[in-house]
Amino acid sequence: MTVEEFEEFYAQAVARLTGQLYVMTGDLQEAQDVVQEAFVKAWVRRGRLERDGQPEAWIRTVAWRLAVSRWRFRRRSADAWGRGSGAVEHVAPPDPDHVVLVDALRELPAQQRRTLTLHYLCDLTVEQIAAETGLSASTIKTHLVRGRAALAHRLQDPRMEEAPDV
């Protein structure tokens, strides 16, 4: 992949990948950071990315792994600070201005959220998701079924339950 081809690929894919990682992580700033870092890592591998034929999937996977690593690091750091001070840090609830769907997705387990994102936002098949995540196809199907059920429950409009039958 030449420099020009990589720049064109970046311009075409960065917004889409950032959106996908935003849904996976629930944090726009984090999504922007990990996607940028994944593109930096891809720059050195740009020749091999073209041969592999799935550069966007590679960057998405690297960005996801970076997000998980950063989350683990922050959690370990917070745990260490908590042990040192003896005080428990209060975490504020999500901003009420966030979109209802993003809030509902945040309540799902990370693997379900990632699977739903890859299937519905990235339009990947079960087999493609299995290849990208290293999970079996049956596990992917289970995550999709459970994730959809959980979202359906969380996204119910309580006003619809109260409406009288006509």
pLDDT of residue 129: 92
Token duo for residue 103: 């809030």
Task: Give the predicted TM-score (pTM) of the model.
Answer: 0.52
pLDDT of residue 97: 44
| Higher pLDDT pick, 145 / 44 | 145
Residues in CB range of 68: below 8 A, 6 or more apart:
110
Token duo for residue 129: 């998701």
Q: What is the pLDDT of residues 113-165, one digit of tens each?
A: 889 988 988 889 999 999 988 999 999 999 999 999 988 888 776 655 555 55
What does R_g of the chain's alpha carbons equal in angstroms? 19
Token duo for residue 1: 């992949």
Are residues 111 and 143 in contact, defined by beta-carbon separation less than 8 angstroms?
Answer: yes
Are residues 26 and 104 in contact, defined by beta-carbon separation less than 8 angstroms?
Answer: no
